[in-house]
Structure 1
Amino acid sequence: MGLAIGVDIGGTKVAAGIVDESGTILRRARADTPDRSVHPKVVEDTIVGVVGELMDGADREIVAVGIGAAGFVAADRATIVFAPHLSWRNEPLRERLGDRVGPPIFIDNDANAAMWAENKFGAARGEADAMMITLGTGIGGGVLMGGEVFRGRFGIAGEFGHMQVVPGGHRCECGNRGCWEQYASGNALVREARGLVSANSPLARDLYERVQGDPSRLTGPLVTEVAQAGDRTAVELLAEVGTWLGIGMANLAAAFDPGIFVVGGGVSAAGELLIEPARQAFRRQLTGRGFRPEARIVRAELGNEAGLIGAADLARQSVTG
């Protein structure tokens, strides 16, 4: 079937790789995601750069390029309608990249791509009805129904991060208040940790010392590292994110009734410190609890590479059938 390149565009990085038919990444490339204030062409240049770097060293034909974007992708699989963390607004991305890349281009939401990869190669193998929740800068979502990616009438199903869970809550980058991703994401984790350090809370002494009293130096991976070392406050911060994660998934189970939830994205690196509180909250909030089967909640197997693996595989299928 040939090799394909997958490109995963997130809030902070553009990760790309050459992927074979078994889902194995043969070569990788990476660049920083341009600031949202820059012209869309700068993002396009970044994509062209990482794809070109990979194609220059490929020893077999590249049959397609798949792009997983953190945003709303129109039903034409060619246009980025809206990307909260980037400058894209009705951006005809496939058209812009077509003459610059070479192989056919397939575009999808990054969480859809991750869901596809986890179903074909990872934690959701064998499940025809599954949901992917990606926790990174925000929350992404992917839905698999009857073994196929469900994208909705206009192509933008799965934007779970922007469900309102707290009326009048924290302002979200999408413009609304109280979105789920304001309570269960890497940004939420960092915001709460920085609040404690800024207040010089005695509960955050370890975190305070790690960043020498500078809250701006706090990152999600650092909070996770401190939690894994046994710091109670960091553990509590992750558990709070996990609790909000479980509440949201219980709502999704009421609507979609999947067999499995796969949790991926950078925050999932916390493992059971995040997943077990999510399971507990899910069981407490699940409609009809005790009288219905419960979906499994598991950590993604493919890690941060699921998006680019899925984008590559979807692109390959789009041209080879």
Structure 2
Amino acid sequence: MADVAGTESTPVAAAIGLDVGGGAVKAGTVVLTAGGTLTGTAVTGTTLPGGAGPAMEAAETRIEHQVESDGNALSALCAAIARDQYSGLRSRWPGLPVVWGVSAAAWIDPHSGRSVFSPHLGGWRNRALPQDLSRALADLTGLPLAPGGSREHASGTAPVPSVINDADAAAWAEARLASTAAGPDRMVLVAIGTGIGGALVRDGAVDIGEHGMAGEFGHMTMDPSGPLCPCGNTGCWELLVSADALAARAGRTSARATIDDALDGDRACRDAVACTGRWLGRGLATLAAVLDPVRFVIGGGVAAAGELLLGPAREELARHLPGGRRRPMPSVSVATLGNQSGWVGAAGVALERAGWPVRALSTGSGPHWRGSPPPGTRPAP
């Protein structure tokens, strides 16, 4: 167990979190206090391979990419982000132990961290990600690998990251750190982005299944005669509810553009969001029949549509819920941490795996923590 002596607000460790999906890597840094509270950090200036890349805002950045099919390039990108965030953390908190965690849109073996399969990250299929990422970091920095594959910060070495499924990381963060965390209950997270990820949380613990592959709700067959899915099946739920499905339904270039126009009152876009919500609700009814949760939490970029999406989803859930009015209906709400939940969860899990208990997330405003805009609204320009 790591040493956490000191006052409640004394920084005892820091963590870097990366959330790796098809098309983008979201990343951020947190500091853990002796009292077990995560707070944000201010790290600036990242330089990616080739000299490209935006400066980082307080504690969070988003890097778009087109290398999901190139495993080496994707690992190098992640290592470059981690390298510069390590540099920023070390300059601000010299000597503070630093760990890093990676959440990936992939099926992760819980014992080894190996990516078993990924529908959307073709380059990371059947790949030993912890070792691969640490080697990429070592190649960029010239540092030797940490002895024994250690995940903890060791001066002068390139540590091995903790790797977790992206939906599991988001569910961990929502269940343990979000303002809506309800204590002991049964929660199902559904994250809607490029695909659909999911996780079941029971009394604060993520149930990853026997092989680490629980929660692949997006690959439930909803339309057997539907289109072919990257997973190899046809008519999967995510083909009807994902960001691409929403954009195609509205005839827009992206889900973000569709949601923005829907929020501005565009009728075609509002109808597309509502149709997506109805398909979401039908899938939730199926999950309710199998898992019987107290609540559903909806995350991912599509959740930014807020009630335009969730209203139709609740109606459809109520219509198709087995048992109907004879049983309590699960609540349906938007994830409190929004798109931050993946990297925050990756960072928090990395800290706990290295021996630092995480108990809370700072909710203070200011430059040290930037929250996502409320669902159903657009960020200020």
CA distance in 2, matches of 1:234, 1:123: 31
Percent of residue pairs bearing the same amino acid type: 38
In structure 1, distance between residues paired with 2:179 and 2:186 = 13
Which residue does 2:40 correspond to in 1?
Answer: 25
Matches of 2:249 and 2:243, distance apart in 1? 10
Q: Distance in 2 between matches of 1:238 and 1:112?
A: 26
Q: In structure 2, how many angstroms separate the alpha carbons of the residues matched to 1:10 and 1:25?
A: 22
SS in 1 for 2:241: coil
Match of 1:13 in 2: 24
Which aligned segments of 4 or more residues in structure 1 are displaced greater than 4 angstroms?
none
Tell me how far 1:77 sits from its aligned partner: 4.5
Q: 1:98 to 1:298 in 2, by over 3 A?
A: same
Q: Where do 1:1-321 residues align within 5 Å? A: 1-21=12-32, 22-26=37-41, 27-38=59-70, 40-58=71-89, 59-60=92-93, 61-86=96-121, 87-99=123-135, 100=137, 102-122=158-178, 124-127=180-183, 128-194=185-251, 218-320=253-355
Superposed CA deviations along residues 44-85 of structure 1, whole A, max 9, x for unmatched, are: 101101101111111232432111000111122510111111
The aligned counterpart of 1:204 is: none
Contact 1:5 1:64 (C-alpha < 8 Å) held by counterparts: yes
Deviations 1:221-273 (A, max 9, x none): 11111111111111110001101111111111111111111101001111100
**TM-fit CA distance, 1:24:** 3.4
Read off the aligned partner of 2:88 and give its amino acid letter: G
Provide the alpha-carbon RMSD of the alignment. Answer: 1.6
Cα distance in 2 for partners of 1:29, 1:88 equals 22
The alpha carbon displacement at 1:290 in A equals 0.5
Distance in structure 1 (CA, Å) of the matches to 2:241 and 2:234: 14
List per-residue Cα deviations over 1:63-120 (Å, max 9, x = no partner). Answer: 3211100011112251011111112221001111234363342111101101111112
Distance 1:77 1:290, change over 3 A: farther
The one-letter code sitting in structure 1 at the alignment partner of 2:39 is T
**Equivalent residues of 1:123, 1:262 under 8 A apart:** no
Contact 1:63/1:104 (CA < 8 Å) preserved in 2?
A: no
CA contact (8 A) 1:263 1:298 kept: yes
Cα shift at 1:147: 2.0
Cα distance in 1 for residues equivalent to 2:109 and 2:162: 12
CA deviation map 1:113-149 (0-9, x unaligned): 0111111221540243111111111111011123211
Q: Aligned to 1:20, what secondary structure does the other structure show?
A: strand
Q: Deviations 1:139-173 (Å, cap 9, x if unpaired)?
A: 11011123211111111111110110111212212
Partner amino acid, structure 2, of 1:46:
L
CA displacement at 1:19 relative to structure 2? 1.5
Q: Distance in 1 between matches of 2:18 and 2:97?
A: 13
Residues 1:77 and 1:258: Cα distance change in structure 2 (over 3 Å): farther
Report what 1:202 is aligned to: none
**Aligned CA distance change for structure 1 residues 31 and 114 (closer, same or farther; 3 Å):** same
Q: TM-score, normalising length from structure 1? A: 0.89
Q: Structure 2 length normalisation: TM-score?
A: 0.75
Decide which structure has greater helix share. 1
Q: Distance in 1 between matches of 2:277 and 2:38?
A: 29
Instruction: Call closer, same or farther: CA 1:138–1:28 in 2, change over 3 Å.
Output: same
Residue 283 of structure 1 aligns to which amino acid in structure 2?
A
Relative to 1, partners in 2 of residues 1:73 and 1:243: Cα closer, same or farther, differing over 3 Å?
same
Matches of 1:23 and 1:282, distance apart in 2:
35
Q: What whole-Å deviation, never above 9, does each CA across 1:188-209 have from its counterpart, x for those lacking one?
A: 1112223xxxxxxxxxxxxxxx
Indicate if the aligned counterparts of 2:23 and 2:68 stay in contact, CA closer than 8 A: no
Distance 1:293 1:224 in 2: 31
CA 123–294 in structure 1, closer or farther in 2 if over 3 Å, else same: farther
Q: CA deviation at 1:305?
A: 0.6
How far, CA to CA, are the matches of 1:143 and 1:243 in structure 2? 22
